[in-house]
Amino acid sequence: MKRLAGKTAVVTGSSTGLGQGIAERFAEEGANVVTNARSTERAAATAEAIRDSGGESIGVGADVTRKADVIELIETAVETYGSIDIMVNNAGTTVEKPLIEQTPAEWRSVIETNLTGTFFGCQVAGEHMLDTDDDCQIINMSSIYGSGGVQGRAPYNASKAGIENLTRNVAVELADGSVQVNALAPGYIRTRLAEAPWGESIEDHPEWPYYEYADEHIENRTPLGRFGTHEAVNNCAAFLAAGEHYMTGEVLTLDGGWIAFGWGSKSR
């Protein structure tokens, strides 16, 4: 039996990358999936691909930095499918440049999309979930960068650290309503967003800060010696969404041992 049969899931930022993979996996597991992007056309494209593969999905354009948009997104899910059982707050962005060069607009863009967008998703979906007697799941997307400092990523790292503590707070507040709230913190996963600054060798990106993030560097810093895959993230997301666990307020880290290694480097 499909683990998510009869459930409705909303996945923000699901027109590409990890969000798209999670949305597709949830559909394979039997969920009604509401895909999302700022662009209605991009959200609809993912939904159409899911339907073409035999799943059930609609696409909704919404900007997660606007609470009114998030309300419309969630209400559309409820009106279409009758409930919202799973909320994945995945929409995110980043800026990569030295701290002193970052502009106020760049800071706000990252914080508002990543952290404020997750807050709105938890708040609006949580209110609907509290009105049901069913067990519900909220999954927030963090990162290994929520646990450390890295050159050029101050807004992103701050937003992810905020998401992790927000997850704990929301988990405590919603626990009486049978809502479990957890976060996923991936390490280096092969995605279009992540691949851009990486090369096949150290020499490909000698300029700061990318010289430290060539493939060889990442693999050398990861105890498992390889990048993560979409499938690994999808497996963890499906596990949390199924609710067959006794977890809430947790951050599930999938990083090949990166954090356990203390951000070190293996000998070559």
Q: Is the peptide bond before 98 cis (omega within 30 degrees of 0)?
A: no
Per the residue annotation, which of 145, 156, 188, 213 is the catalytic one? Answer: 156
Nearest Cα to 45, choosing from 32, 35, 30? 35
- Please tell me the predicted confidence (pLDDT) of residue 48: 98
pLDDT in tens, 187-222: 999 865 545 444 544 455 455 554 466 788 888 889
Return all residues near 59 (Cβ < 8 A) that are at least 6 apart.
34, 35, 36, 37, 40, 42, 43, 44, 45, 46, 47, 48
- Please tell me the predicted confidence (pLDDT) of residue 251: 98
Bridge partners, residue 180, by sequence: 137
Nearest Cα to 121, choosing from 173, 178, 166, 56? 166
| Secondary structure (3-state) at 221 | helix
How much is the average pLDDT of 109-138? Answer: 96
Rounded CA gap, 231 and 180, in Å? 23
- Please tell me the predicted confidence (pLDDT) of residue 200: 47
Q: Which domains does the chain have, with CATH numbers?
A: 8-187+229-252 (3.40.50.720), 190-227 (no CATH)
pLDDT at 105 over 70: yes
- Per the annotation, the verdict on 213 as an active-site residue is no
Lowest mean pLDDT among 27-31, 34-38, 133-137: 133-137
pLDDT in tens, 242-253: 999 999 999 999
Q: Are 85 and 8 in contact (CB under 8 A)?
A: yes
- Please tell me the predicted confidence (pLDDT) of residue 209: 53
Averaged pLDDT of the chain: 91
How much is the average pLDDT of 39-64? Answer: 98
pLDDT at 69 over 70: yes
How much is the average pLDDT of 107-133? Answer: 97
Q: What sign for the dihedral angle of Cα 143, 255, 1, 22? A: positive
pTM of the predicted model, to two decimals? 0.92
Lowest mean pLDDT among 34-38, 41-45, 133-137: 133-137
**Tokens encoding 9:** 């899931």
pLDDT at 89 over 50: yes
Tell me, letter by letter, the H, E, C secondary structure of 67-126. HHHHHHHHHHHHHHHCCCCEEEECCCCCCCCCHHHCCHHHHHHHHHHHHHHHHHHHHHHH
